[in-house]
A and B are shown apart, each in its own frame.
Chain A
Amino acid sequence: MGHEFIGGEKLKCCYQCGKCTSGCEVNRIDPSFQPHRLLHLFGMGALDELINGDAIWKCTTCFTCSERCPQGIAVTDILWSLRAMAYKSCRASELLSAQKSALFKTGRLYPATVLDHKKREKAGLPPLSEDSSLISRIFDAAKADG
């Protein structure tokens, strides 16, 4: 799985102190989202459960847990790895699918409409460039061997 684990090397050091969940804004509102539990499941190898569940899509990536983890575990990066695994097994959230199509079409997360271009011109801002093949070229390069 290689680079998908960027930042996740210390995962096994987690001693379940729960500080990540204690400080998690999302958990406060939606108790079903528990970062410490995700780490535990990941450590136990329960990948299927994680990838098929909704939990990994609920993280705001606010980095509070990563910042305060006493074991220096990059929890947010691990969440990203899990999402990438889900994406690769075609389990991406609808939001991500929408983002993906925008990115691959225009190279931008928020494509500019005709109106947007006009507004910018009126405000005296420089025109925006779009590159429809850039993202797929980058993905191809990332996948290519070597």
Chain B
Amino acid sequence: MPVYVVKDKCDGCKGKEEPLCEQICIGDLMTLNSDTGKAYCRSLRDCWDCMSCTKICPKGAIEQRIPYQLGYHGAKLIPMLGTDSITWTCVDIEGKVERFSFRTRNKH
């Protein structure tokens, strides 16, 4: 269950070419629709759910649908990126919320 771009939030990184999600995607799946100026995943079944794009998106416009092996419908995994930390919010199918903050390696 791959990524989903919320069109209202995505602003195509304003650069009109190669948005951040496109640059970071290890599978070269994310790209920009030049007509709408919004990003999309060009091959959903090839997505590995690595969530790199979800993490990097400055507009919070990319959501991850968690694959069923990890959590059924309703489960969510939401990252929030700081300059040297990341905070994960995990919601399980019963709605239980847990949050974890980590230091990341990209400290200045």
Instruction: Note whether A and B contact each other (Cβ less than 8 A).
Output: no
